[in-house]
Chain A
Amino acid sequence: AQKITQTQPGMFVQEKEAVTLDCTYDTSDPSYGLFWYKQPSSGEMIFLIYQGSYDQQNATEGRYSLNFQKARKSANLVISASQLGDSAMYFCAMREPGGDTNAGKSTFGDGTTLTVKP
């Protein structure tokens, strides 16, 4: 069974500084995808960034980058130049490969609440 662990229930960061949100995962599948989602107080889950298990390079999307360390089974999210609008809950998720027998469903961690201070 897949498992995602986010050990930081809450994090604070000063505006314009960088912050790292931790995520470790456990799976026996060689093929999987790692995703980060943002959930503001409004409730909508927003996709941020993706890393495939076979990707050689760390993923980047604007101010978001994913520090992927496969041997350590970690996929930390780095947000550079934090903005007030980054204050939200952040979820790490792992998706199993889809196919005839697999749903391709995602398993989520319990999230980290990020607060950006002005």
Chain B
Amino acid sequence: DTGVSQDPRHKITKRGQNVTFRCDPISEHNRLYWYRQTLGQGPEFLTYFQNEAQLEKSRLLSDRFSAERPKGSFSTLEIQRTEQGDSAMYLCASSLFWQGGKNSPLHFGNGTRLTVT
């Protein structure tokens, strides 16, 4: 278990630029989640993959956000035309399939901190 890794750890970009983040989940986990966390708040769900299929996307997510998991392994999150309001910590998590009644917590990466100037 090498853990969930995210790259980069920090990203500073100018408003209007595009950014892309990468997440490598725990290899045997088929579920991958992206969350966004702003200071003083809990993580907010963005989107979710089961293997390579993106099965749910938050209604809060604008069309500027897109995520992929092309081979069911690593995932990328792209933000186009960044805005200052996009500044946040972007967390990736992976887990096993959970049907309820089973202990299958989320395993989080260290996150990518995005600052839009």
Which of A's residues lie within 8 Å of B, judged by CB? 4, 31-33, 35, 37, 42-47, 50, 52-54, 91, 93, 95, 97-99, 103-111
Contact = CB atoms under 8 A, between A and B. Distances in A.
Majority SS at the chain B contact face: loop
Interface residues on B, range: 20 to 34
A98 B97 contact: yes
A91 B42 CA distance: 7
B100 A32 contact: yes
B56 A105 contact: yes
Interface in B60-117: 89, 91, 93, 95, 97-111, 113
Contacts, number: 86
B107 A104 contact: no
Contact of B106 (A45, A97, A109, A110): A45
Interface of B: 31, 33, 40-45, 48, 55-56, 89, 91, 93, 95, 97-111, 113
B106 A47 contact: yes
Residue of A54, A98, A99 with most chain B CB atoms under a 10 A cut-off? A98
Nearest to A91: B42
B83 to A, nearest CB: 23
A44 B98 contact: no
A109 B102 CA distance: 21
B89 to A, nearest CB: 7
Contacts of B110: 42-44
Contacts of B33: 103, 105-106
27 contacts: A4-B42, A33-B101, A33-B103, A43-B89, A43-B110, A44-B111, A45-B43, A46-B108, A47-B105, A50-B103, A52-B101, A52-B102, A93-B42, A93-B106, A97-B99, A98-B97, A103-B56, A104-B95, A104-B98, A105-B45, A106-B33, A106-B43, A106-B45, A106-B106, A107-B45, A111-B40, A111-B41
Contact of B99 (A43, A45, A98, A109): A98
Contact of A110 (B41, B55, B111): B41
Nearest to A113: B40
A35 to B, nearest CB: 6
Contacts of A43: 89, 110-111, 113
